Structure 1
Amino acid sequence: MILATLREGGPDGTLIVVNRAKTKAVRAEGIAITLQAALDTWGTAEPQLLALAEHLERDDCPDVFALDLSKLAAPLPRGFAFYDAACYPEHISIIRKARGATLPADFLEQPMMYQAVASPILSWCDPIKVADDVGYGVDLEAEIVVITGEVPSGTKANEAAGHIKLLGLLNDVSLRNIVAPELARGFGFLHSKSDKAMGPFVVTPDELGNLWNGSMFTGGRYLIGIRGDRLGELDPGKDVVFNYCDLIQHAAKTRILVPGTMIGAGTLANKDGKTGSGCIAEQRAREQLTRGEMCTGYLRYGDELYLEMFDLEGRSIFGPIRQKLAPLDKA
């Protein structure tokens, strides 16, 4: 099942069901007004949404309309919770190696995770607006998130798969020049994490077929681009040390995860440097280690970024993220 959110009806939008060709859709009226409302009542909403999706595929559904991507908001425009991890060692190790640092001693024993801001979430095409493009060091981060139902505190990894309701594409925007001084204060990220964005569609795990084993991707082709050039072409199922069920267990160790909680496995990275990078910072670190200098610049006003993941048949799974960097609006 494929779901999306129209920019109408209020700040949380209107939930729609989308056909597999991603050409038609129907409002989920009478089932759930918003995606968050559906997640809050997933036990009853899911079978009704699935039935609506089946009718849509059979062209046996009233009030169908042609899908216009420009009218879509983020699937969850105002999320309740977002936990992000670092499950791809190559991403962290390369960046740290370039500055003479190492991975934490327990990196392979338990996930590195922080609780981030989950709202607002930009749409696939909303501009990223910042006050200083040069001073901030604006970077994209190619990620995939799972969205959970309610997860009881103390849930174990072997119990977690059933709590994964949806998956989506994420750009976790980072302001790299602010990261180091913030972390040096010992209290985590704040200003260095700008508004993130989601791809236009979220999908139930069954839509992934053989690309999903219940806890992690088993393949796929994730493309990352900046300024019209390819930055990376990565496999999200390779070179990962923790899966999403491990992350759910870690996040739920001391708390309940509310319906609509998003959990990311971190910036994608593969050991084979020939496949490129999932963010500019990693690419710059590779350049520093191989050439002795960083050549790829961070995003500047007017620059465009691109993220999209494809299945083995070349079909887009979550739709694209295409954003431009723009100056912050001034009153």
Structure 2
Amino acid sequence: MKLASLRSGRDGKLVVVSRDLNRAVSAAQISPTLQSALDDWTSTEPALQALYAQLNAGECSEAFAFDPAACAAPLPRAYHWADGSAYVTHVELVRKARGAELPESFWTDPLVYMGASDAFIGPHDDIDVESEAWGIDFEAEVVVITDDVPAGSSPELARDHIRLIGLVNDVSLRNLIPAELGKQFGFYQSKPWTSFTPVLATPDELGDAWDGARLHLPLRASLNGKLIGAPDAGQDMTFDFPTLIAHCAKSRSLMAGTVIGSGTVSNVGSEQGSCCLAEVRCLEIIATGAATTPFMSFGDRVEIDMLDANGTTIFGKIDQVVTHYQPPEK
């Protein structure tokens, strides 16, 4: 099943989207928003699946053409957004570029931070940034959405609470990060709003590519029409999603609609390219002693997508342009 939210108020209007992403139908008779559907997933999921089957069979007279540009984020705002750094090879590379050793604990204890979930943005929304000097970077990631997860859940139990899967662009302002982390209190200003693919999919839609813990397909990231990388999201993922969920639920329950991110997808050796410019720059530093690839500029266009074995998009494409934000004068 594939679900999206059309722009409507702050929480969007839930629609069911056909497998080929060509048609959609309102799910208002089942649940007005995705968050409300997740709040009562045991009841809403069978009804949504039935509507999805009707839509794919061409039996919905109310169906209409699906337009990704009309989409908000599937969850326009969420109660909880926890982003991990599950590809430790990426962390190791970044630290190597600045001559720092990777602590052994990084291989056994996940890195996670809580991001801004008061507003997520849609797949075609602009990336508004006030200054290019802030070091504007994209980060292509896989995310999962959970239902209610009890505190103290093991990874085995956490696996059963994954309800939806999608992709995000977790924008980072790289030049603001060092000062923030230097305070030893985490990200804030350096992490603006995160954008989502047009749709989220239930695990059964992914077939053998989803093994219950990892998504084994290349994640494609392009800048201004040039492919920057397509690393396999299931490869070199040190901490799988059940492990990340269990880590986040160690001391408190997670509420329905919690978004858990993988962190920047990265493969050992980076032979398939990178899913962020920071990694590209680190590879340049290691190879030549200096980074030559700039961060993004106003007018740049970033695209993030994942294709199935037949070359068909699964979640739709994130397609964004970096724009110059002008703050109010008074």
Q: TM-score range by the shorter chain?
A: over 0.9
What is the CA–CA distance in structure 2 between the aligned matches of 1:310 and 1:293, rounded to whole Å? 34
**Equivalent residue for 1:209?**
207
CA contact (8 A) 1:17 1:28 kept: yes
RMSD: 1.0
- 1:187 and 2:176 matched: no
Matching of residues 29-178 of structure 1 within 5 Å = 29-133=28-132, 135-178=133-176
Matched residue, 2:291: 294
Question: For residue 167 of structure 2, what is the amino acid of its counterpart?
Answer: L
The question of whether the paired residues in 2 share the 8 Å contact of 1:124 and 1:320 is answered with yes
Give the number of equivalent residue pairs: 328
Describe the SS at the equivalent of 1:275. Answer: coil
Shift, 1:59, TM fit:
1.3
Letter in 2 for 1:232: G
Q: 1:137-196: CA deviations, max 9, x gaps?
A: 000001010000010111110111110000111000000001011001010001010111
Equivalent pairs: percent with the same residue? 41
| Structure-1 separation of matches of 2:78 and 2:13 | 14
Query: Alpha-carbon deviations, 1:291-315, whole Å to 9, x = none?
Result: 2211110001111111101122211
Displacement over 2 Å in runs of 4+: none
1:34-59 superposed Cα distances (whole Å, 9 cap, x missing partner): 00010011010000000100111111
- The equivalent residue for 1:250 is 247
Residue 291 of structure 2 aligns with an amino acid whose one-letter code is: M
Q: Provide the residue aligned with 2:306 in structure 1.
A: 309
Please name the residue that 2:263 is paired with: 266
Match of 2:315 among 300, 318, 327: 318
The SS at the match of 1:159 is helix
Tell me whether 1:225 sits opposite 2:222 in the alignment: yes
Q: How much does 1:79 deviate?
A: 1.2
Contact 1:226 1:304 in 2 (8 A): yes
SS of 2:141's partner is strand
AA matched with 1:157: P
> Is 121-130 or 62-71 further displaced after alignment?
62-71
Contact 1:149-1:261 at 8 Å conserved across structures: yes
Amino acid corresponding to residue 3 of structure 2 in structure 1:
L
Do the aligned residues in 2 keep the contact of 1:140 with 1:279 (CA within 8 Å)? Answer: yes
Counterpart amino acid of residue 28 in structure 2: E
Counterpart residue identity of residue 196, structure 1: T
1:160 is paired with a residue whose SS is helix
Q: Which amino acid aligns with 2:253?
A: I
Q: CA separation in 2, counterparts of 1:178 and 1:23?
A: 40
**Counterpart for residue 4 of structure 2:** 4
Q: How does 1:10-21 map to 2 (within 5 A)?
A: 10-21=9-20
1:274 Cα offset (Å): 2.1
CA–CA distance in structure 2, aligned partners of residues 140 and 302 of structure 1: 14
Counterpart CA distance in 1 for 2:243 and 2:117 is: 20
2:14 and 2:31 in contact (8 A); partners too: yes
TM-score normalised over the length of structure 2: 0.97
Q: Distance in 1 between matches of 2:213 and 2:291?
A: 36
8 Å Cα contact 1:221-1:312 kept in structure 2: no
TM-score by length of 1: 0.97
8 Å contact from structure 2 (residues 219, 304) kept in 1: yes
The 8 Å contact of residues 87 and 240 in structure 1, kept in 2 or not, is answered as yes
SS state at 1:167 partner: strand
SS at match of 1:234: coil
SS at match of 1:200: coil
1:175-224 alpha-carbon deviations (Å, 9 max, x no partner): 0001011001010001010111001010000000000111112x212111
C-alpha separation in 2, matches of 1:265 and 1:59: 35
Residue 93 of structure 2 aligns to a residue whose secondary structure is helix
Unaligned stretches of 5+ in structure 2? none
2: CA distance, partners of 1:216 / 1:183: 29
